[in-house]
Amino acid sequence: MNKLIITAAICGAEVTKADNPNVPYTVDEIAREAKSAVDAGASVIHLHVRDDDGVPTQSAERFAKCFTAIREACGYDVIIQPSTGGAVGMSDDERLAPLSLKPEFATLDCGTLNFGDSDIFVNTIKTVRCFAARMRELNIKPELEVFDRGMIDTALLISKEGHINRPLHFNFVLGVKGGIGAGVDSLAFMAGAIPADATYTVSGVGKYQLPMAAASIAFGGHARVGFEDNIFLKKGVKAGSNGELVRKAAEVAQAIGREIATPEEARKILNIK
């Protein structure tokens, strides 16, 4: 089986220290959590950043500081994937700011959805096209964030228009309230809808994080874990670090004999130049 890429989504924009005191806000805390994840087997850090008081920001300056701190803590080959989703309510220009740092990889959210009980995460087709075109110009590999089946079709449409180079790489986000539910049926449905040359990772939300990671690892997909999507190691026990969650995914891989990709191997699998 192909090697497994583990992505650690260490921070997110929604989860707070009130949910789990180990959620990182400061630059040092972000570097600490990234290191815990990389030491446990993550090759990709999916990154949101915050002000020191925990307010999400898309400031390029703040991202630059975090990039440097993460590389110093984890080694210079770690793949850092900034979010262009940011937080609900941010403008498109704000969300695009970290691309000015020319990262090798970044997220591209592929549609609008209800996001929890009272928010709407807005990504019109025009926005998706514009973000995709910017990434293509800057030679940034997009990870296509798809929260529902129709978003795969949007990504395929925009790729057909010439704004996203193939092979495509998807992240199936399963279990957001407002998106497709988590389950092996959802995983099979989504995986069956992408081109044969595409790759995918799976992000299960909340209690579905580790089961969905395990299912993807067994199916030959890749896995994303971390505080952005889940703060618990097991029922009633909060994770002490992102590394603890990454270690669980690595243990599943080890148990079924699937090797874990280094950052260099992950770049080859993802076709990151």
Interacting residues with Zn ion (CB under 5 A):
83
Binding characters for ligand KMH, 76-105, by CB under 6 A (x = yes): -------xxx-xx-----------------
Least distance in Å: CB of 171 to ligand KMH?
8
| Secondary element (H or E) of residue 174 | strand 169-174
Q: How many angstroms separate the CA atoms of 79 and 34, rounded? A: 11
13 binds ligand KMH (CB under 6 A): yes
| End-to-end CA, the chain | 23
Least distance in Å: CB of 22 to ligand KMH?
19
Least distance in Å: CB of 115 to ligand KMH?
6
Q: How many angstroms separate the CA atoms of 168 and 159, rounded? A: 8
Least distance in Å: CB of 156 to ligand KMH?
19
Q: Which is nearer to ligand KMH, 242 or 252 (CB)?
A: 242
Q: Which does 130 bind (CB under 5 to 8 A by kind): Zn ion, ligand KMH, none?
A: none
Least distance in Å: CB of 85 to Zn ion?
5
CA angle in degrees (0–180, nearest 5) for 165-84-125: 60
Q: Among 61, 59, 60, 73, which Cα is nearest to 30's?
A: 73
- β-pairing, 222-225 vs 6-9, is parallel
Residues touching ligand KMH, count (CB under 6 A): 12
Binding characters for ligand KMH, 108-127, by CB under 6 A (x = yes): -x-----x-----x------
Q: Note whether 86 and 56 are within 8 A (CB).
A: yes
What Rg, from alpha-carbon coordinates, does the chain have?
A: 17
Binding positions for ligand KMH, rule: CB under 6 A:
13-14, 83-85, 87-88, 107, 109, 115, 121, 145
